[in-house]
Structure 1
Amino acid sequence: MKVSIITVVFNGAEHIRDCIESVLGQTHPDIEYIIVDGQSTDGTVDIVRSYGSRVAKFVSESDKGLYDAMNKGIRLATGEVVGLLNADDFYHHNRVIENMVATFKRTGSDGVYGDMLYVDRDDPSQLKRYWRSGWYREGDFLWGWMPGHLSFFAKRWAYEQYGLFRLDMKSAADYELMLRFIHKHKLKLAYMDEVTIVMRAGGISNSSLGNRLRANREDRLAWKLNGIQPYFFTLWLKPLRKINQYLRKPPIPT
Structure 2
Amino acid sequence: MSSDASTRPLFSIVTVVLDDREGLRRTRASLRRQSCRDFAWIVVDGGSEDGTRDDIVRLGPEIAWWRSGPDRGLYDAMNIGKAAATGDYLLFLNAGDELASPDSLERLAAEIRRNSSPDFLYCDALERTLGGTLLLKPARSHRTVWYGMFTHHQAMIYRRLAVADLSYDLSFTVGADYAFTIAALSGNSRVIRVREPLCVFAAGGLSHAMHPIGRRDQTRIRRRYLRLSVISCFLIMVVQSLAMLTRRGFPVFYEIYRCRRMYE
> How does the TM-score come out when normalised to structure 2?
0.82
CA 1:238/1:86 → structure 2, altered by over 3 Å: closer, same or farther? same
Give distance in 2, aligned partners of 1:92 and 1:78.
24
TM-fit CA distance, 1:217 = 1.9
The answer to whether structure 1 residue 148 and structure 2 residue 152 are counterparts is: yes
TM-fit CA distance, 1:187 = 3.9
Give distance in 1, aligned partners of 2:223 and 2:195.
32
Segments of structure 2 that go 5 or more residues without pairing to the other structure are 1-8, 248-252
CA 1:246/1:75 → structure 2, altered by over 3 Å: closer, same or farther? same
What residue in structure 2 maps to residue 132 of structure 1?
Answer: 138
What residue in structure 2 maps to residue 112 of structure 1?
Answer: 121
What residue in structure 2 maps to residue 76 of structure 1?
Answer: 84
User: Does the 8 A contact of 2:136 with 2:262 survive in 1?
Assistant: no
CA 1:141/1:134 → structure 2, altered by over 3 Å: closer, same or farther? closer
Aligned positions of 1:1-254 closer than 5 A: 2-108=10-116, 109-121=118-130, 124=132, 126-127=133-134, 129-136=135-142, 139-144=143-148, 146-161=150-165, 163-182=166-185, 184-204=186-206, 206=208, 212-226=211-225, 228-229=227-228, 232=232, 233-238=235-240, 246-247=255-256, 248-250=259-261
* SS at 1:15 equivalent: helix
User: Does the 8 A contact of 2:24 with 2:95 survive in 1?
Assistant: yes
Segments of structure 1 that go 5 or more residues without pairing to the other structure are none
User: RMSD over aligned Cα, in angstroms?
Assistant: 2.5
* SS at 1:23 equivalent: helix
TM-fit CA distance, 1:99 = 1.1
Give distance in 2, aligned partners of 1:64 and 1:206.
20
Task: For 1:249, give the aligned amino acid.
Answer: R
Give distance in 2, aligned partners of 1:180 and 1:224.
13
What residue in structure 1 maps to residue 5 of structure 2?
Answer: none
Give distance in 2, aligned partners of 1:142 and 1:120.
26
TM-fit CA distance, 1:89 = 1.2
* SS at 2:21 equivalent: coil
User: Does the 8 A contact of 1:144 with 1:237 survive in 2?
Assistant: no
In the alignment of these two chains, the number of paired residues is: 243
User: Does the 8 A contact of 1:130 with 1:245 survive in 2?
Assistant: no
Give distance in 1, aligned partners of 2:50 and 2:73.
18
Task: For 1:2, give the aligned amino acid.
Answer: L
Give distance in 2, aligned partners of 1:26 and 1:229.
42
Higher helix share: 2
